[in-house]
Structure 1
Amino acid sequence: MLEPTKKPPAEAVSEARFAGPADKIRELARVAHTLGLTEVSGTVPWRELFPEFQGKENWAVALRGARGKEGLTQKALAALTGIPQSHISSMENGRMPIGRQRAMRLAEVLKIDYRILL
Structure 2
Amino acid sequence: MLAHMKTQTTGALTDICLTVPTESAESVCKAINSILELANFSRPVNEEGEELYSANEVFPEGHPGMALRGLRTKEGITQKEFAARLGIRQHHVSEMEKGTRAISLDMAKRIGEAYNISFKVFL
**TM (normalized to structure 2)?**
0.50
Contact 1:107 1:113 in 2 (8 A): yes
State the Cα distance separating 1:96 from its structure 2 match: 0.6
| Pairing of 1:61-80 with structure 2 (within 5 A) | 61-80=66-85
State the Cα distance separating 1:69 from its structure 2 match: 1.2
For residue 104 of structure 1, what is the amino acid of its counterpart? K
Matches of 2:65 and 2:105, distance apart in 1: 14
For residue 56 of structure 1, what is the amino acid of its counterpart? G
Higher RCO (CA 8 Å, separation ≥ 6 residues): 1
SS of aligned partner of 1:101 = helix
SS of aligned partner of 2:76 = coil
Contact 2:56 2:62 in 1 (8 A): no
Which residue, 84, 90, 97 being the options, matches 2:89? Answer: 84
Matches of 1:73 and 1:109, distance apart in 2: 15
Name which one, 1 or 2, has greater alpha-carbon Rg: 1
Residues 108, 54 of structure 1: CA spacing in aligned structure 2 closer, same or farther, 3 A cutoff?
Answer: same
Which residue, 83, 97, 101 being the options, matches 2:102? Answer: 97
| Pairing of 1:2-13 with structure 2 (within 5 A) | none
After TM superposition, what 4+ stretches of structure 1 lie above 4 angstroms from structure 2?
45-49
For residue 84 of structure 1, what is the amino acid of its counterpart? R
Establish whether residue 56 from structure 1 lines up as the match of residue 62 from structure 2: yes
For residue 87 of structure 2, what is the amino acid of its counterpart? G
Unaligned runs of 5+ in 1: 1-41
State the Cα distance separating 1:111 from its structure 2 match: 2.4
Contact 1:56 1:93 in 2 (8 A): no
In terms of fraction of residues, the more strand-rich structure is 2
**TM (normalized to structure 1)?**
0.52
